[in-house]
Each structure stands twice: as C-alpha cells, then as structure tokens.
Amino acid sequence: MNLFNYFKELLERSAFGVCSYLGDRMGVASSRVRLYFIYISFAALGSPIIIYLFAAFWLNLKRYIRNQRNVIWR
C-alpha cells in the first residue's frame, strides 16, 4: 500500500496542476474539469491525453521561466 500512496501523491502534485489551472482560469471547480477530461478521454479513446501532457509541459515551462525572472542576478 505504501507504493500506491506514493504514486497517488506524485500524480496529485504533478498531473492535476493542469485541471486546477484550467478550472481557475474558467471559473469552474477543478473537480468538474477533471471529470469532463475523463469523459472526453473515454469518448475519444485517450487522444486528449496528448493535449493534457502538452499543457502540463507548457505550464511547467511557464512556471520555470517565471521563477527565473524573479531571481536577482549579482
């Protein structure tokens, strides 16, 4: 069970950032965005997963660039 909890926490920290971001931007609960994403993934046979992974990459890149701008260079 310990491995299961580790995997679950890893997914919640990294993978669900996309749904939270989209929910905040659209003014909808992130749980609703996750639910719709799951429905669309089943209906489209998993192809939205590629879009989700691209969005996760883009958000991490955006976060990285934003953090680099806040560093004071000496």
Determine the pLDDT at residue 50.
Answer: 87
Token pair belonging to 30: 């992130």
Determine the pLDDT at residue 28.
Answer: 92
Q: pLDDT truncated to tens, each residue of the chain (74 aa)?
A: 688 888 777 776 666 678 888 888 999 988 888 888 889 988 998 888 888 888 888 888 888 888 777 666 65
Determine the pLDDT at residue 16.
Answer: 62
**Is residue 32 within 8 Å of residue 19, measured between CB atoms?**
no
What span, in angstroms and rounded, lies between the C-alpha atoms of 26 and 45?
Answer: 25
Determine the pLDDT at residue 68.
Answer: 76
